[in-house]
Chains A and B, each alone.
Chain A
Amino acid sequence: MAAPDPNAPAVDIAAAMVTAPSTFADWLLILPVAVPLLTGAILVMVRHHTHLHRPLAGAGLAILLGLNLLLLQRVVTEGPVTMMMGGWLPPFGIAFTADVLGATFATTAAFAALVATATAGPSINTAERRYGFYPFLMLLMTGVTGAFLTGDIFNLYVWFEVLLISSFGLLVLGSEKRQIDGTVKYGILNLVATTLFLASVGLLYGTLGTLNMADIAAKARAAGPEAPLVTIAALLTFAFAMKAAAFPLNFWLPASYHTPTPTVSALFAGLLTKVGVYALLKVGVLLLGNQTGAFSSVLVVVAGSTMVIGALGALAGSDLRRILGWLVISGIGSMLIGVAVGTPTALTGSIFYAVQSMLVMTALYLAAGVIEARCGTGDLRRLGGLYAVSPLFAGVVLVLFFAVAGLPPFSGFWPKAILVEATLAADLPWLAAAVLVAGFLQTLAVGRVWLYAFWRGGPEGTPDGTLQLAGIGRIEDPADRIALVGPVVVLAGAVVLMGLVPTVVGGLAEDSARGLIDPAGFTARVLGATAP
């Protein structure tokens, strides 16, 4: 460290930096990003010692979940908390701001990732491990968690890119033809989306002169007519809607989600699109709420059509995981209603839906993985007889199917009821009808899958009363069986619990919604947090 320069002018540190020492509670904000990053780096270093990978990754994810839970607890009791990176005052440094929405999403994502990664044992072979499965996974979680916790919009872009490149790695690992094809389409389309996001960040900076989210929220409300904020808001919404796979920007999802290993598919289904939804909620409602409200009728149409077309896609499918991909899209439509309608009730419904969808879709893809492992195929025409062979597993899958279709008493129906009520109250009966019609089509779609894969005795054309399983029908190694089926059961249990006790997730959703429609409070807490 250089000796102090005698010519330097006197400077008041407190005018530039946070002077209060940081506590562990503050560190809770950055540790959920630092831990997976560090774990990922360690995993890269021990790349060739594949026997260390599982324990290290498991430990990293478990610690991540614990940290997120602590953070969530802190945020629920205290409101949004901020930590400034480098100690620089907001809005000059990068802020990490955890509000209830971000903390809830981060915790759910960590839980889904931990459970899904348990299935990686039997599914990922040694070569894939050596070439980075677990590092990619940890960096994926870094990007996801960073996106949920950051309070700076360019930093959000960086985490989006971290998560995107990690997903590229996961998607293509294995190098099957389907995967390479899928990665080409996924890669180019998602790159366009994040580049449009980057462009809009640049435009936003040029307009408002700041990158801090709280500062943007304040300045956007005070901006005059010389700022083209509606256009910028539209572009941001477009970019996030594409990341979230809203119709008609959803092409990349059905083109790629079904190609990698089921574990990877499950992680993607639970996490990736929800980051887009989160960004849409944050930017579309909290930051640029007034501007987004200007084109809310467009968003209403987008939300409704996404729900219905997703359901139609599921109805038309003949491969398990491709059907699930369309169900993911249909769910995204429900989550868009919150942004489109903007009322606290609608936002509560959308956020609740997002949280339960993270768990349900992860579980469904993992279940599809179990079925593919048992029967050697995911083709509905060739599946059959699973209910007779394993009724308990079939029951678990039925629970998940009903949850995704929004049937009570499972987790999916609470948000659907709230969304119908919110749309009716907002005088949007067509949107309410779209929610119900989509629910009907989803019920029909999952009912058909259940009939073919579970109830029917065998492949298409099996005579009544006979049983002809595809493949060998079971997973030989008991350790593998637990690793593949256990996570599905755990997630299904969480789904049932959410349905029976809606106050936990519902309360979090209500708090998040309240936070989103209170930009003044958000800004005050972030920018004023370090005031004396």
Chain B
Amino acid sequence: MTDPSPAPTWILLALAAPFLAALVAPTVHRLFGRAAAFALAAVPLAAFVGFLTLLGPVADGARLTTGFDWWPSYGVRFSLLVDGLSLVFALLITGIGTLIVIYAGGYMKGHPQAGRFMSFILLFMGAMLGLVLADDGITLFVMWEATSITSFLLIGFDHTRARARRAALQALVITGAGGLCLLAAVLLIGGATGTRTLSEVVATGDVIRGSDLYLPIFLLVLGAAFTKSAQVPLHVWLPNAMEAPTPVSAFLHSATMVKAGVYLLMRLHPVLGGTPEWTTVLPIVGGLTLLTGTLMAVRQTDLKLMLAQTTVASLGLLVLLVGVSTDAAIVGAVGYLLAHAFFKGALFMIAGTIDHEAGTRDVTKLGGLRKLMPITFASALVAAVSMAGLPPMIGFVAKEALYLGLDEAGRTALIAVAVAGNALMLVIGFAVALKPFLGPEVHTPKHAHEGPLELILGPIVLGAVGLGAALFLHGFSEIIVLPMAGAITGRPVEADLHLIPTYVSTPLILSIVTVALGVVAYLALTPLRAAVDAVVRGIGWGPDRGFDQIVAGLVGFASVVVRVVQPGRLEAYMAIVLGLAVVTLLAPLLLFGELPAWPAFPDLTAQEAVVILIAVSGLVAVVVARTRLTSIVSLGIQGFAVAVIFVLFGAPDLAFTQFMVETLSVVILALVLTRLALGERDHRPLRQKVVDAVIGGGLGLAFMLVLLKITQAPFDRTLTDFYDTYSRTIAHGRNVVNVIIVDFRGLDTLGEIAVVMITGLAILALVRVKARTPILPTPETGKRK
């Protein structure tokens, strides 16, 4: 692999341009009306042309990087890499993007939020471009999630419909989960290889494959790739994403965003691919997806859903090929990815044009449009030929290449799957391209006529590209296919692609078989559709319903959890908190050997013992107090006993304050209790009493133990000695406690006074402010009272 060389700085501008265009899109739309789409399309077109100029150097093997430091101390750089893989994707995104912007202008004409729509499309384009060009793992993750977010906004564009909202949320949740997997994968890769820069990672060779982290990284990458690229069973969001307006389906959900997962697998192939896990799991999942997608497509009658399901299938085929991991299979994957982008984008646009002009997308309700929409018919036919893999389109070349890859790798089971899948793709391709156009004219909701320039331009261009690529195959292969394949495998790749087969090879035989099967199936489409439909209905359940069940289940589960952990009763809260406090204190005492030694019997004077006993009796009295008088008196007893203790142990100021405060407390308590009842007895049932006693007693015991432990150790008198020494000599006060309060630690006293002030104000507010009626403004005026 060549060393990276500096890329021209206009690439950063090319990446920023769609975002900037998105900011001004609504204004442009308001000012220019119909021409706005063309004006905005100039942005991706310029980028496309720019990227074309890089084809030469990249085909020669250059890898261009550029960027700027984003968060240097955390090692994140907003860096971009242009090599064969990212350049081809960038061309697809900007090229098809140009056509889509124009198409969207025509499709959304008259829609009040058309400007916003353009804005979202351009935002997505910028994010997708950033995704494929990103060189830094964190930047890749940011762009990946940005595509999920913009896709969410686009799918839910018609937001007042519940199905659209559901589809948007489903896509966000599924691809968002994949994004999280990607983040974890990027970080693990960083840990395993020491770098998060992809261009450096792919040069590390076998480091990841040989480390313990291979399996977690592999699974996480699969999580990201399979969600984004709609592999079974995570594919359900893709057909539902058809709720979006058709330009979105054509751009995101066929040509670009859904390929991001395949892009990821291709990008990491040099360091993750080739292992037994890779060559087993990917083909199996890909194959399943291929078959599921095509069978589900057969079942559909909505044009967009037919195309969506075959997109799922095509993605499965791509994953399968990348999974086989040989050079030839990779070439096949590259070829098929490009062919698919061209024909699927075109077919989606055609489906949208039919919908826009005829008013329905149901293939059973369309017919005879060939005379009314001849240009669309022609482009549809061209695209379908490519989809069916027939010459002279690039689809044929791609199919030959992928059959060659599977054959050379000797994966016969996969060949069978691929043949079956491709046969059904032929069916669907021609179903979309022929059924609405052939046959007698059918009455459609809108009077059908050919679409305007904006709508027909895209399919024409894509058809021309698909044909041109096949006709100028050698050049196409040299500057696009092989450099991309080389970036995927990590070394230069040789392949010999032919449009006209020179001899009867296995791939040719397979192609003939495929076409034969396909034609037969096409002729039997209606009974085939009925049969698949019957089977699906018979099974009854599918991942889509599963999604609803999972979401509902999660919400229900969450509701149960909340009801358990937040019971709503203060008593429960206190019990849990205090119970945990007991554990918090006792556990370290026991586990870390911090229990005190058994204390000597305390030597108390008679008066101390008496006061302590009085305090204890006060406590007991508070607990058993049943009448107001008893409770007030017992509160006083324990408080005054504490005050006397203070006197006995040399704290007269404290005793004084304690007397004052206790008196005030008793007075306020008496005032309040004249209004409140105390309750005849402590109403708790015995079981509750025991539990509460255990908790209370446990906490008391714990504090006692800690206090014993502390007081058994010698005491550091530094602070005390300081205050004793300097109270009079510097602070000019004889009462050391007072000096501490007003001088040494005066700030505490300031805070304490502030507390008293606020308490007074708060109590005043509590007493005086009348309860207002709802906190929310009245519905009529919108003002609070």
Contact = CB atoms under 8 A, between A and B. Distances in A.
Interface string B156-185: 100111110100110011001101110110
Nearest to B556: A316
A315 B554 contact: yes
Nearest to A17: B730
Contact of A312 (B558, B743, B751): B558
Contacts of A192: 574, 577-578
A169 B592 CA distance: 42
B723 interface: yes
Interface in B552-577: 554-555, 557-559, 561-562, 565-566, 568, 570, 573-574, 576-577
Contacts of B138: 417
Given A162-B754, A175-B770, A16 B730 contact: yes
B70 A502 contact: yes
A368 B780 CA distance: 19
B73 A199 contact: no
Contacts of A93: 744-745
Interface stretch (B140-148, B354-362, B485-493): B140-148
A153 to B, nearest CB: 11
A388 B161 CA distance: 13
Contact of A424 (B152, B184, B743, B744): B184
Interface string A316-351: 110000000010000000000000000000001000
Given A86-B746, A231-B706, A189 B184 contact: no
B710 A206 contact: yes
Contacts of A26: none
Contact of B146 (A210, A242, A326, A408): A408
A444 B554 contact: yes
A165 interface: yes
A236 to B, nearest CB: 10
Nearest to A502: B71
A154 B161 CA distance: 59
Given A86-B744, A421-B187, A455-B159, A122 B717 contact: no
B146 A409 contact: yes
Contacts of B720: 209
B418 to A, nearest CB: 35
Interface string A463-504: 011110001101111001000000000000000000000110
Nearest to B715: A209
A476 B577 CA distance: 46
Contact of A249 (B160, B173, B580, B717): B580
Interface residues of A, number: 150
A295 B719 contact: no
A192 B581 CA distance: 10
B31 interface: no
A316 B559 contact: yes
A207 B710 contact: yes
A365 interface: no
Contact of A92 (B76, B722, B732, B750): B722
B709 A174 contact: no
B776 interface: yes
A420 B187 contact: yes
A209 B573 contact: no
A392 to B, nearest CB: 11
Contacts of B535: none
B570 A188 contact: yes
Contact of A175 (B165, B168, B769): B769
A98 to B, nearest CB: 15
Contacts of B745: 85, 93-94, 154-155
Contacts, number: 358
B707 A203 contact: yes
Nearest to B116: A391
Interface stretch (A7-15, A72-80, A279-287): A7-15
Contacts of B770: 127, 175
B577 A249 contact: yes
A2 interface: yes
A415 B168 CA distance: 27
A137 B695 CA distance: 37
Interface stretch (A60-68, A268-276, A370-378): A370-378
B71 A506 contact: yes
A229 B573 CA distance: 28
A150 B52 CA distance: 62
Given A92-B723, A313-B566, A209 B584 contact: no
Contact of B191 (A210, A425, A475): A425
A376 B782 CA distance: 8
A443 interface: yes
A58 interface: no
A136 interface: yes
Interface stretch (A101-109, A220-228, A519-527): A220-228
Contacts of B149: 402, 407
A393 interface: no
A231 B589 CA distance: 6
B184 A443 contact: no
Nearest to B710: A206
B719 A91 contact: yes
Contacts of A139: 754, 757-758
Interface string A120-147: 0011010110011001100100110010
A518 interface: no
29 contacts: A16-B722, A16-B725, A123-B784, A128-B769, A139-B754, A155-B745, A162-B755, A165-B758, A165-B759, A173-B769, A175-B771, A176-B774, A192-B577, A203-B710, A207-B710, A209-B715, A209-B719, A210-B719, A228-B706, A235-B585, A312-B562, A376-B776, A418-B74, A429-B216, A448-B555, A451-B169, A456-B162, A476-B782, A503-B72
Interface of B: 70-74, 76, 116, 138, 141-142, 145-146, 148-149, 152, 156, 159-163, 165, 168-169, 172-173, 176-177, 179-181, 183-184, 187-188, 190-191, 216, 551, 554-555, 557-559, 561-562, 565-566, 568, 570, 573-574, 576-578, 580-581, 584-585, 587-589, 592-594, 703, 706-707, 709-713, 715-720, 722-723, 725-726, 728-730, 732, 743-748, 750-752, 754-755, 757-759, 761-762, 764-766, 768-772, 774-785
- Listed from nearest, the 10 A-B pairs whose CB atoms lie closest are A209-B716, A158-B751, A131-B765, A228-B594, A169-B762, A316-B558, A455-B159, A251-B573, A408-B142, A312-B558
